[in-house]
Amino acid sequence: MISDIRLQKFRSYADESFEIEDGVNIVVGPNASGKSNLLEAILMLARGSSYRAADSEVVAHEAPWARLDVHLDDGVRTLKMIREPNDRIRKEFIIDEQIVKRLTQPKTLPVVLFEPDHLRLLSGSPENRREYIDALLEQMDAHYGTLRRRYKRTLAQRNALLKQGSHYAHQLFAWNIRLSELAGQIVSARLELLGQINKDLSRLYSEMAGKQNEVRFEYQSSCLLEQYSSSLLHKLEQSQELDFLRGFTGSGPHRDDMMMWLNERPASETASRGETRSLLLVLKIIELRLLEHSRGQKPILLLDDVFSELDGARRRALTEVIGSYQTFITTTDADVVVQHFINNCNIIPLSLESEQSS
């Protein structure tokens, strides 16, 4: 649990500290008052990077450094960001008085973020859905991040070879083998996670909707899922000439998709606005529970300007879940949120007057 946080030269904050409660913390203020910036700071301390910007963008304009400090139940955590001459940002995390350059999974804090862009998860690009599943896997599995980086490096090396032309075809086979092996491990992990999500998806959605529904999250690929590695290897060899022509690898986990089905129809095409919000809310509830189970500790929940997007029934469903998690909710209208947490919330007021412009 977070007990307090200090932000120095971070985004719109020159130097500001906030007291945090164990339960629900409601961050209230007008637009451009720094509400999302505060949640972004919490996420960077927890996971090591922003969900919406490069490191160079979060250090206040022309500032040589930025610093975030947080007190937790088990100690102090600090993130220093130093602007170097080439405008690159060098990061240092200080955890238990030890300096680390990058947060490995065991040193991260489990956190679930729900922000407006997630409302387009079902209908947006396949890349968004791949990133959602992969980011969750990286939080749950200490080895998945390494696996994902190895796959990306191998893919980049194969693509670099493809761009050099077909006279390098004899060098492709070794890369095809390596890429297929790593791809099989990635897809296996993704399929296992989708299976875990699907266990509770229909039940939780039906409870929220007030009637029985069938919902599933389905993996889609041009390769056979049961034999992914060998199927991809065969496809890479078969499409080698085409890959050389286009200069990139056209098959693999980096091209696969995941589709949500609602009562045997694609949710992206048939779900109403309210149904889409319910589906996303249920996904976030499942995400909380999966992270708590896999990490052995309760995740921090960040709700960035989405509470007002939910109607009464969905707000009540979310309120019931929130009770046992440390939660941060941003809003421009405190009344919309506070009524659901009477006598059980901490108000963090922000104003344009107190904001330090970046």
Question: In the 3-class helix/strand/coil scheme, how is 297-333 assigned residue by residue?
Answer: CCCEEEEECCHHHCCHHHHHHHHHHHCCCCEEEEECC
Q: What is the pLDDT of residues 189-237, one digit of tens each?
A: 999 999 999 999 999 999 988 899 999 999 999 999 999 999 999 999 9
* Cα 202 to Cα 68: distance, rounded to the nearest angstrom: 40
Token pair for 221:
């690929």
Token pair for 130:
């791949």
- CATH 1.20.1050.90 in the chain, residues? 120-298
Q: DSSP secondary structure string, 170-202? A: GGHHHHHHHHHHHHHHHHHHHHHHHHHHHHHHH
CA atoms within 13 A on the CB side of 19: 3
CA atoms within 13 A on the CB side of 229: 12
> What does the pLDDT average to over 48-62?
91
Q: What is the pLDDT of residues 283-309, one digit of tens each?
A: 999 999 999 999 999 999 999 988 878
The pLDDT, as a whole number, for residue 352 is 73
Q: What are the two backbone dihedrals, phi and then psi, of residue 209, each rounded to the nearest 5 degrees?
A: -80, -20
Q: Which of 71-75, 176-180, 190-194 has the lowest mean pLDDT?
A: 71-75
The pLDDT, as a whole number, for residue 357 is 40
In what helix (H) or strand (E) does residue 251 lie, and over which residues does it extend?
none
- Domain 1-109+301-358 belongs in CATH node 3.20.20.80: no
Please determine, for residue 7, whether its predicted confidence score (pLDDT) is greater than 80. Answer: yes
pTM confidence score: 0.91
Q: Which residue has the higher pLDDT, 7 or 335?
A: 7
The pLDDT, as a whole number, for residue 353 is 52
> What does the pLDDT average to over 111-127?
92
The gap from C-alpha 276 to its chain's centroid, in whole angstroms, comes to 18
The pLDDT, as a whole number, for residue 337 is 87
According to DSSP, the β-strands at 2-10 and 13-19 are antiparallel
Q: Which residues of 311-328 are buried (b: 16+ CB within 10 A; e: fewer)?
A: eeebbebbbebbeebbbb
Count, residues in the chain: 358
Closest-CA residue to 106 (of 22, 43, 50, 48): 48
Helix (H, G, I), strand (E, B) or coil at 339: coil
The pLDDT, as a whole number, for residue 309 is 80
Closest-CA residue to 9 (of 80, 110, 92): 80
- CATH 3.40.50.300 in the chain, residues? 1-109+301-358
Q: What is the pLDDT of residues 85-107, one digit of tens each?
A: 888 999 999 998 899 999 999 99
Token pair for 119:
């409302």
Closest-CA residue to 358 (of 44, 63, 85): 63
Closest-CA residue to 114 (of 45, 28, 51, 68): 51
Q: DSSP secondary structure string, 15-84? A: EEEEE--SSEEEEE--TTSSHHHHHHHHHHHHHSS-SSS-HHHHBPTT-SEEEEEEEETTEEEEEEEEE-
N-to-C CA span, the chain? 29
Helix (H, G, I), strand (E, B) or coil at 3: strand
Token pair for 125:
């690009």
Q: Where residue 358 falls among pLDDT bands split at 50, 70, 90? A: very low
Q: Where residue 281 falls among pLDDT bands split at 50, 70, 90? A: very high
> What does the pLDDT average to over 140-169?
95
Mean pLDDT, the chain, rounded, equals: 92
Helix (H, G, I), strand (E, B) or coil at 107: helix
Fold classification of 120-298 is Glutathione S-transferase Yfyf (Class Pi); Chain A, domain 2 (1.20.1050)
According to DSSP, the β-strands at 2-10 and 65-72 are antiparallel
